[in-house]
A and B are shown apart, each in its own frame.
Chain A
Amino acid sequence: MIMNISGKVNKKRIIQNVFHAILLLISLIVIVFVLGIIIYLIVKGGSALTWDFLTQPPSGGMKEGGISTVIIGTLYLVLGTLVFSLPIGIFSAIYLHEYARKNRLTKIIRLSIVNMAGVPSVVFGLFGLGFFVIFLNIGRSVIAGSLTLALLILPIIITTTEEALKTVPDTYRHASLALGATKWQTIMKIVLPQAMPGIITGAVLGIGRAAGETAPILFTAAAFYQPNLPKSVFSQVMALPYHLYVLVTQVADAPDEKKWGTALVLLLIVLFFASIATAIRTRARLRRRN
């Protein structure tokens, strides 16, 4: 009888260990995949990252030269994206958190934000083409691409800003109002400065997302091959993700090191912004705890 019970307990323990091991293995697969991609890109692309590659424009039908103007093109697009999306996104979050009542409209707005975040990036590209490029007649340009990307990251900006507004204690608002400040003054001078770390986190996350996207700029901004920088914001522009796509699929026998180098630079830029966002978030969390 005692043997029997301890046998059962043993069996239970074995099953527990087996499943523990399986779940551990599954998690390891995911981690190995992520780290594998990063290490592989560094190994393959590391040697391509020369000073010339980073400071020279592409030449010779993209088979020679570097990617300097492509990197700057991506920065133009990202900057434009922020200019369009930040003010609208922040005020949208202010409306939701400081002004909106709990009614049907607010519910619909929240549902729309969730759904907007789920709209495929290529659909944003189609919309950008149909609306900004053709209907508003802006043409394929930095502006049209930035506007399209701005819509894409709007849900990120709105949700992170709203989270940040939630962390500002109501006592701050009450104190400001009690001193005679208007609601607007309270928001601009008290609430927004307090929420700034969270808002910056959202902006940085948005930058990372916008820098890596290809489909939205495919028909709205990206130039196939244009070694010089755009003359104005109404010109087309080369961008890293599209350049990588072109090198890999459209240019016959493009040198491998150019492909891996471009992929690595793109990854490093995106990871740079992602780690800034993580750092700000961690710092804010630690400060709140202290």
Chain B
Amino acid sequence: MSLKKINRLKEFKKFLITKYIFLNGIISIVVLGLILTFLVYNSFKFFASYPIFDFLGGKQWDPTGEPEKFGLLPLMAGSALVSFGAIVIAIPLGIGTALYLGELAPRIVRETVKPIIEILASIPSVVIGFIGMTLLSGIIKDTFQLNTGLTALTGSIMLAFMSLPTIISISEDAINAVPSSYRFASTALGATKWQTAYKTVLPAASSGIVAATMLGLGRVIGETMTVLMVTGNSPRLIFSLLQPVRTITGTIAAEMGETVQGGIHYSSLFAIGLMLFLITFFINYLADKFVNKTR
């Protein structure tokens, strides 16, 4: 009888432990669900009182004007412009470095360079933003003879470097995953090391490299402090890399402090946060598809 009792107690304990571990196991699903719920919940007031087409198609972002305007387009254009510039710069740098490290570099070079790239990943974005403000913006201003060096291009250059650790490490994984037999076959046919890298390894690793680029893009779109500090923060609808812009992330960070809690401006920042969440979610989802394709 008492043995039975002990056994039952043991069973109960095991049941509790298993349930507890399971709850921890699904935490990521719970958190993602909560994030989505609270973004929707807090942006509800905005969507209820502001016409959705004026939001999605509006060309002006002027939350303190009379009447206030919450047009998404200038912020979208700002984010798109900065991210586009950053990715255009980051792709050759990232893939070039990954190819060099993966295929050509001697082992000692590879072992020294990799930690340096890991260091880049750990430099806080506010420090990168500070460097961009003080060093790069001056260079941009003088080079292009502008009134201000705080432009979309300044943001693009800084963000390009910030996305490199992601792009390089995942591209290199993809390059390393290409079977050696491919390289041997190519070399046996008389190809040089470079021809092998360019014509055999690169195509074979292509879906991993696409995934790397997309994850880099996700990082770039979501980056906040650096763009807030170096892109000049002007929410106008423009399409030039040499002018100040305002991104979605920069708008949230810059304006949340000035809003009245529960007001429409407050709610509108959650609405653009929701847009940002959906965009990055979609990009990461696509990247994951490509990563799985490589395996």
Contact = CB atoms under 8 A, between A and B. Distances in A.
Interface in A259-289: 259, 263, 266-267, 270-271, 273-274, 278
Contact of A182 (B14, B97, B128, B276): B14
Nearest to A24: B100
B122 interface: yes
Contact of B123 (A92, A109, A267, A278): A267
Interface residues of A, number: 85
Contacts of A19: 194, 198
A248 to B, nearest CB: 5
A121 B42 contact: no
A24 B97 CA distance: 8
A172 interface: no
Nearest to A155: B28
Given A26-B93, A92-B25, A208-B122, A31 B113 contact: yes
B256 to A, nearest CB: 5
Given A30-B97, A120-B223, A266-B124, A126 B113 contact: no
A interface: dominant SS: helix
A43 interface: no
Given A37-B131, A123-B39, A245-B229, A212 B194 contact: no
Contacts of B113: 27, 31
Contacts of B55: none
Interface of A: 12-13, 15-16, 19-20, 22-24, 26-27, 29-31, 33-35, 37-38, 40-41, 87-88, 91-92, 94-96, 99-100, 105, 108-109, 111-116, 118-127, 129-131, 134-135, 151, 154-155, 158, 182-184, 208-209, 211-215, 218-219, 241-242, 244-245, 248-249, 259, 263, 266-267, 270-271, 273-274, 278
Given A127-B38, A278-B115, 6 more contacts: A91-B20, A94-B21, A109-B28, A112-B32, A219-B256, A244-B130
